[in-house]
Structure 1
């Protein structure tokens, strides 16, 4: 499966400009099966002054249908109770799935206006099963544990600041190795208020090797991941068969 990572410098609360940025990147690269955008890619990491980004979801649905592909990324979406969800959409030509961020970033005030999701979401697309996760979820390995080998890749979309990049790189590699899966991360780049983002979007193999690294600047890159290679690795090293048994809520 060909995966395209779109590393954006999201312009604060400018949904139309951010949509155009994303579309320009898609048009300038080879066709992929799955395009992935960062966390809150259409608005920036808005918490105290959240803005509904349903317009960006409609664009994602159009791109998926026109290009016969899947496209994924998170958006702030208003709920009927007045709260927001940081909602990670996985959109295909025929349907949409979503995951609401479970671990809200208290330091950034995300817990004030946003409501935490309670369910894990695994999406089946092509030959792969993808676990959807968002940024801060990365720090909590129990929530993403591949206890029953029920997924093949984790996708993390993020607004992870440059000041904590060592933690990002270390934890992404750990998640790939401990869960014997591909780990795909798409982080934003650029500056927003007092924060700087250094990108570092990547794809990591089940062995912990970097198959793709986008560096620090806005760009798009693609690579292939193989379900056959993953299954072969799991058969050769069946570590997950000896994992501790526990029940995820």
Structure 2
């Protein structure tokens, strides 16, 4: 396991249903922040959180996935973020992980936000994903997944959990509290990558993109501003903490999909 991992979290006011403009914005943020090994973008970063997948969907051969592959190669880093993807006549809120080798792996959002009707427009994922990067085990998840600790349970000894989101300001207390809870109970780093601004449905997003350590302390945050948070995660610190406080060995035993 590499002794440290350089991670960059991107936050901006997403342009509604405008993939090209959002890719351009991401380009400007990426170009201004070279050197990371993992770049993380928000949920539905090309469209905003939309219930009109038929109007904005792309495929795994579409321009946004191609852009992610090209940027990952150019940056020599992993690029991660979710897109509206059509696959076999179904729509998914899909986290794409583009590797610099050109390989693509993905995670489909498991818990669809029924309060906004997401379950009526998208299909749920059925499998978790564990990405390994320089020996670091990384588990990507999406927004509403955050509320379900059983699904987030650290069965694979993940070192970093990632939640990409469009989490609204009026429920920001839950966002900030649950990110800390997931970090503490799983003894791992947790990245929460949100958007900011106001979308076309007049929903206000507070941002609060942040990195939390295994103790539950916020070690980086963007608050409500556009920008990039650059963080170096330390493997030795995490390993030493887990050895000193081996709480994970006392977990209840049960099977998760």
- TM-score band by shorter chain is over 0.9
1:76-111 CA distance string (max 9 Å, x none): 001222x20000011111111100000001111111
Deviation of 1:29 after TM superposition, in Å, equals 2.0
Per the alignment, do residues 44 and 167 of structure 1 end up closer, same or farther by CA in structure 2, a change over 3 Å counting?
A: same
Indicate yes or no: 2:174 matched with 1:170. Answer: no
The 5-angstrom pairing of residues 58-207 of structure 1 reads: 58-81=66-89, 83-94=90-101, 95-147=103-155, 149-192=156-199, 193-207=201-215
Q: How many residues align?
A: 247
Distance 1:143 1:121 in 2: 11
Q: Residue 52 of structure 1 aligns with which residue? A: 57
Tell me the TM-score normalised to structure 2 length: 0.93
Paired residues of 2:53 and 2:91 also in contact (CA < 8 A): no
Equivalent residue in structure 2 for 1:38, among 13, 26, 42: 42
Equivalent residue in structure 2 for 1:20, among 24, 28, 39: 24
List alignment gaps of at least 5 residues for structure 2: none
List alignment gaps of at least 5 residues for structure 1: none
1:44-89 CA distance string (max 9 Å, x none): 11113441143211111001111111110000001222x2000001
Paired residues of 1:48 and 1:112 also in contact (CA < 8 A): no
Distance 1:213 1:49 in 2: 31
Tell me the TM-score normalised to structure 1 length: 0.96
Distance 1:222 1:85 in 2: 29
Give secondary structure in 2 for the equivalent of 1:57.
helix
Runs of 4+ in structure 1 over 3 Å off: none
RMSD: 1.1
Distance 2:53 2:254 in 1: 39
Distance 1:177 1:36 in 2: 21
Paired residues of 2:53 and 2:84 also in contact (CA < 8 A): no
Equivalent residue in structure 2 for 1:4, among 3, 8, 29: 8
Paired residues of 2:68 and 2:79 also in contact (CA < 8 A): yes
